[in-house]
Amino acid sequence: MPTVLITGTSSGIGLAACTLFAEKGWHVLAGSRNPDASLYKGKSIEPVRLDVNDPGNVEAFFSEYEKHKTPLDCVVNNAGWGISLPFEDTKRKEVAEMFQTNVFGLMEVTRHACRIMRHQKRGVIISVASIAGLVGSALYPIYVSTKFAVEGFSESLAHEMREMGVMVKLVEPGRVQTKFFDRAYAPIELNRVSEPYKHLAERKLAQHLKGVAHYSTAEQVAKVIFEAATDGKKLLRYPVGANALEDIAQKKLLTDQEFFEKVHEKFVG
């Protein structure tokens, strides 16, 4: 039975991925800060405490795992969060915390996974990035920055690890129907938007409410994660959803400036 470690599994994409991998016959290590067995459906799902923001906890988890000498076939870096605020309205503490979870925590988990998989001479490391790692967006400057970082890190790491027999891959969802978007557009965050940016926030919220029915589901993203884990291909990027595919296609067809202006018109007006 192959083994996968998935971070950020208490809801959304992470939870859906746990369910799918278990259905496909995998042993799933479901990592979260506060493991709750009642969340998961599947006898092969093992809830584990894995707080990507706690390097000591991450190191202890992998040290214990290695004692059992069980192969680690796949790691899915899914833990992450974001808020929808203009840069000026985002607190320094929030910037640091977002980078800690979305980038530094991801790197810490990946560092240990690389060591294990390098010795195995096989394995797949998948990071759930976002179309936001390829396309800038107003009201998401910090979240977008973290995803750009994940894109650059993963692409560079893929060059280092391929000759070791380890595939590094990116799954890039567009907009997804998860609690992440509910939190990002929560009234408490919108109420923090200062006056010069109010019109942007109102426009963004209206677009979100209008389009949410057409967003990808967490289950659809999970299917692509499983595909990336099992297809044996040397693909780096796996976009998910019509809006992600559309943005990627337009970015290839248009000049940088043309694409920037198109995005600006769409989201800012």
The two tokens of residue 150 are 């994940």
Biggest alpha carbon–alpha carbon distance for the chain: 57
In Å, how far are 18, 57, 186 from 182, measured between CA atoms? Answer: 21, 29, 6
Cα 50 from Cα 73, distance rounded (Å): 18
Query: Does residue 51 sit in helix, strand or coil?
Result: coil
Q: Nearest CA to 36 among 46, 44, 26, 27?
A: 46
Domains of the chain: 3-267 (3.40.50.720)
Say what the pTM is.
0.92
Sign, Cα dihedral of 208, 171, 230, 242: positive
Closest CA to 109 of 96, 133, 95, 128: 128
pLDDT by residue for the chain (269 residues), tens only, comes to 999 999 999 999 999 999 999 999 999 999 999 999 888 888 899 999 999 999 999 999 999 999 988 999 999 999 999 988 999 999 999 999 999 999 999 999 999 999 999 999 999 999 999 888 899 988 999 999 999 999 999 999 999 999 999 999 999 998 787 665 555 555 556 788 999 999 888 887 787 777 677 788 999 999 999 999 999 999 999 999 888 888 889 989 999 999 999 989 887 86
Q: Measured between alpha carbons, how far is 65 from 60 in angstroms, rounded to an integer? A: 9
d(CA 53, CA 137): 26
